[in-house]
């Protein structure tokens, strides 16, 4: 009879903890959980619940990764309406950190948990748009030079010293097509986004960014890539919507959730540099979420309707996973 050792040249190991990293196809016995385990890779993206935010919010700024996240500002459905508070994530729970110098909703976000950037935003109930820019050092925020065009709810990409903001919502009811690049000191106006669009999803770097979805005179499915000097139209999303949680790179992005009509949607789409593909939907239909990370390992938090506290972590297709072997 053929045995596992005969095929692979070694016996199944008995271990108290699952090995990490593991090779695809590797089998072992976990003697703490009394289960045989298998190393596999995901064939489609998957979502899992994460730790709840301390304060529910939507239209917040975000930066960082799945295990070292940062969210700041945002909207709240009752007084005080606009938030200044910020929270950091360690992969399992959120903790309050230094608040923004002033409250705002819809700020752009870039950078990391310890070197973040917040720019622009809006205020309720006046609808005033902001040019305010603040940088984060891991504990406190410092005001720096302002943007050229006042707006919030824009697409954003990059890091603290090389950020990009595009599109956005100006003084009600206007939208903007402005694109600005930040070099760590000053903002510079560069080539305009193809259309005046608010609540556009964004990700990538200052010289290789991606913008998708949003609201022009209605929700749109358009997608555009940025090469550091100009925008180029790419293949559209499969579903039109605004307020998508966007994370990843110009060639491997995720668009999570959206507002496509009266109600939010849970849809998820993956970008491979050429086209968008529908993937596993989020557990909840939510829009205007804070989003961070990469296509293999991303995170979305908060969102609307209302101002929820839930967090969901995304594992992209092709990522390593551990599965329990059963008899079924």
CATH of the domain at 216: 2.120.10.80
321 in any annotated domain: no
Q: Phi first, then psi: what are they for 206, rounded to 5°?
A: -65, -30
Check residue 319 and give its pLDDT: 72
Is residue 170 a part of any domain in this protein?
Answer: yes
- The whole-number mean pLDDT for each consecutive block of 10 residues of the chain, a chain of 328 residues, reads 53 83 78 83 86 98 98 94 98 98 98 98 94 98 98 98 97 91 98 97 98 96 98 97 97 95 89 97 96 98 95 89 75
- Give residue 240's pLDDT: 96
Any idea what the Cα angle at residue 256 is, between residues 250 and 257, rounded to 5°?
145
The order of strands in the sheet holding 129-136 is 108-111, 116-122, 129-136, 141-144
Question: What φ, ψ does residue 244 adopt, rounded to 5°?
Answer: -75, 140
Pairwise CA distance, residues 219 & 198, whole Å: 10
Provide the domain count of the chain. Answer: 2
Q: Are residues 37 and 50 in the same domain?
A: no
Indicate if 116 and 138 belong to the same structural domain.
yes
Strand, helix or coil at 229? Answer: coil
Domain of residue 159: give its range. Answer: 46-315
Say if residue 8 is in the same domain as residue 30.
Answer: yes
Q: What are phi and psi of 259, to 5 degrees?
A: -105, 110
- Angstrom distances, CA of residue 256 to CA of 47, 62, 128, 245, 266: 11, 14, 28, 5, 7
Does 78 share its domain with 32? no
Amino acid 13: pLDDT:
86
Assess contact for 258 and 242: CB atoms under 8 A: yes
End-to-end CA distance of the chain: 22
Specify whether 192 is located in the same domain as 156. yes
pLDDT at 187: 98
Q: Tell whether 323 is covered by a domain.
A: no
User: What's the pLDDT at 203?
Assistant: 98
Position 325 in a domain: no
Asked if 97 and 19 sit in the same domain, the reply is no
CB distance 152 to 200 below 8 Å:
no
158 and 291 both lie in a single domain = yes
Whether residues 126 and 192 share a domain: the answer is: yes
Assigned domain for 118 exists:
yes
Residues 67, 109, single domain; the answer is yes
Contact between 285 and 262 under an 8 Å Cβ cutoff? The reply is: no
Within a domain: 77: yes
Q: Are residues 115 and 153 in the same domain?
A: yes
Q: Has residue 328 been placed in a domain?
A: no
Separation CA 96–CA 326 (nearest Å): 41
Q: What is the DSSP string of 243-304?
A: S-EEEE-SSSEEEEEEE-SSSEEEEEEEE-SS-EEEEPPPSS--BS-EEEE-SSEEEEE--B
Let me know whether 239 and 258 are in one domain.
yes
Residues 229 and 249 reside in one and the same domain = yes
For residue 320, is it within any domain?
no
């Amino acid at each position: 009879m053929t045995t596992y050792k005969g095929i692979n040249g070694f016996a199944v190991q008995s271990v108290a903890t699952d090995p990490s990293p593991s090779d695809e196809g590797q089998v072992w016995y976990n003697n703490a959980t009394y289960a045989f385990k298998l190393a596999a890779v995901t064939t489609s993206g998957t979502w899992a619940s994460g730790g709840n935010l301390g304060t529910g919010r939507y239209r917040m700024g975000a930066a960082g990764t799945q295990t070292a996240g940062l969210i700041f500002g945002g909207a709240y459905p009752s007084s005080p309406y606009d938030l200044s508070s910020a929270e950091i994530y360690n992969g399992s729970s959120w903790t309050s950190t230094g608040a923004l110098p002033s409250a705002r909703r819809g700020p752009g976000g870039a950078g990391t948990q310890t070197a973040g950037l917040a720019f622009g935003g809006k205020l309720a109930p006046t609808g005033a748009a902001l040019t305010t820019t603040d940088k984060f050092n891991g504990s406190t925020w410092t005001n720096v030079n302002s943007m050229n065009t006042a707006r919030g709810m824009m697409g954003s990409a990059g890091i603290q010293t090389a950020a990009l903001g595009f599109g956005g919502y100006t003084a009600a009811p206007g939208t903007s097509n402005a694109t600005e690049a930040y070099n760590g000191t000053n903002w510079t106006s560069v080539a305009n986004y193809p259309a005046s669009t608010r609540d556009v999803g964004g990700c990538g770097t200052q010289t290789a960014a991606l913008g998708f979805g949003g609201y022009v005179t209605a929700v749109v499915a358009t997608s555009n890539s940025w090469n550091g000097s100009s925008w180029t139209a790419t293949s559209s999303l499969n579903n039109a919507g605004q307020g998508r949680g966007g994370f990843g790179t110009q060639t491997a992005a995720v668009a999570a959730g959206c507002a496509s009509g009266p109600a939010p949607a849970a849809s998820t789409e993956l970008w491979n540099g050429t086209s968008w593909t529908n993937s596993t939907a989020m557990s909840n239909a939510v829009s205007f979420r804070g989003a961070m990370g990469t296509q293999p390992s991303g995170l979305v938090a908060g969102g609307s309707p209302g101002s929820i506290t839930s967090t969901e972590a995304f594992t992209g297709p092709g990522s390593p996973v551990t599965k329990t072997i059963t008899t079924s």
